Amino acid sequence: MLKFGKMFKISVCIPVYNVANYIETCAKSLMEQTLDEIEYIFVDDCSPDNSIELLKKTLSHYPRRRQSVKIIRNDENMGPALSRKRAAEFATGKFVYFPDSDDWIEPDMLEIMYNKGIEENADIVKCTYVNEYSNRSVISKELFKFGNEEWRKRILTSDGVYIGLTTSLIRNDLNKIVLKDFPEKRLYCFEDYLHMVKLHFTAEITSWVDKAFYHRNTINPYSVSKISKHQIESKLYVAQAIDDFFARRSDKKQYQNDILRFIANAKLVLLSSNNAWNPNRWKKLWPETNNPELIIPYGLSTRLYKKVAMNVYAGHNYTAYLMMLSSNIILSAARKIRSLLR
């Protein structure tokens, strides 16, 4: 195990892959934190570019942090989820933090969030973020403050709340508990969702700092790609893992509708992607979700989504409703659902 020889307040765990254009900005923002007691565990996920060389060059400008930095290399490309898990196994801080290597953070982010966590004895401390576009910056607003029941339910459908790891400071012992049964297989999408749902439904106290500390880079061409078969299977795997997680909980009935809603939307990809078009599998997979009202365009009114979903399933007047919605996932699935579910 990696040892640094001192106690740390926060362990920053960060996979590095193909981010040569962004790693310097990211690393500078991490090194220039106002909090001193931070350890940094970078994971070289077999990056094909010179990201690691640029990282080392940037780190050389911060000699006071030198003894608190480790760079470990995967034997093969593992993807962000398994790379984060590997880094977290070595984390010794009271809290852990998982930024993306193409983003950056405000210099006082970790100090303020750490102090909040200590003050409120929190398991998780969250903040908001800024979406950075090529020509503008947009601060995101959460629909609900943390801790109320409505917000917890919305986590399951990502409706109005950001489910990503990057705006969360997590108590290390809680994270280690959640990671014990984290999948060993590589996931190509939704890995943050699985991790965060388990964290939030295991945590007792979640705190909130109402500041936009985190800057999400939206212009990295490698951060978003066309949906692949690997991504489709990962999404379905995560849906099953969420269902299995709640099957072991005493409060499953309380969240049953929200779980079904998430699963229904997860398997809709089987009808909306040319890489996965499989109506028989769609019918047989989680048959309890074959309910039109479970297809939800996030953020729309209850009346509108019910009207749309019923018409899509019934197979008539669907085009006008879909045009009203401009919902990509239903729009791409509509023609196939029309003949499938009369």
**pLDDT per residue over 161-206, tens digit each?**
788 899 999 999 999 999 998 888 888 888 889 999 999 999 999 9
pLDDT band of residue 273 (cuts 50, 70, 90) is: low
Predicted local confidence at residue 300, as pLDDT: 45
Name which residue leads in pLDDT, 231 or 38.
38
**Mind giving me the DSSP string for 42-100?**
EEE---SSSHHHHHHHHHTT-GGGGGGEEEEE-SS--HHHHHHHHHHHT--SSEEE---
Confidence check: pLDDT of 94 > 90:
yes
Confidence check: pLDDT of 124 > 70:
yes
Residue 155 CA to residue 146 CA, distance in Å, equals 10
Predicted local confidence at residue 113, as pLDDT: 98
Q: Can you list the pairs that 238-244 forms with residues at least 24 positions away whose Cβ atoms lie under 8 Å?
A: 238/187, 238/190, 238/191, 238/193, 238/194, 238/266, 239/263, 239/266, 239/267, 239/286, 241/183, 241/194, 242/156, 242/194, 242/197, 243/286
> Quick one: average pLDDT of 295-314?
50
pTM of the entire predicted model: 0.84
With pLDDT > 70 as the criterion, what percentage of the chain qualifies?
78
Across the chain, mean pLDDT equals 83
Predicted local confidence at residue 310, as pLDDT: 52
**pLDDT per residue over 215-268, tens digit each?**
999 887 665 545 688 888 999 999 999 999 999 999 999 999 889 888 888 887
302-314 and 328-340 are packed helices; what angle lies between their axes, rounded to 10 degrees?
Answer: 40
Identify which of 53, 52, 68, 59 has the alpha carbon closest to the alpha carbon of residue 7. Answer: 68
Residues 6+ apart with CB under 8 A from 153: 255, 258
Residue 305 CA to residue 299 CA, distance in Å, equals 9
Name which residue leads in pLDDT, 73 or 7.
73
pLDDT band of residue 1 (cuts 50, 70, 90) is: very low
Name which residue leads in pLDDT, 183 or 17.
17
Query: By mean pLDDT, which of 95-99, 273-277, 335-339 is the weakest?
Result: 335-339
Confidence check: pLDDT of 318 > 50:
no
Predicted local confidence at residue 313, as pLDDT: 46
Identify which of 172, 29, 37, 166 has the alpha carbon closest to the alpha carbon of residue 108. Answer: 29
**Mind giving me the DSSP string for 315-333?**
TSSHHHHHHHHT-HHHHHH
**Mind giving me the DSSP string for 119-150?**
HTT-SEEEEEEEEE-SS-EEE---SS-TTSHH
Predicted local confidence at residue 55, as pLDDT: 98
**pLDDT per residue over 44-60, tens digit each?**
999 999 999 999 999 99
Helices (H) and strands (E) in the chain, counts: 14, 9
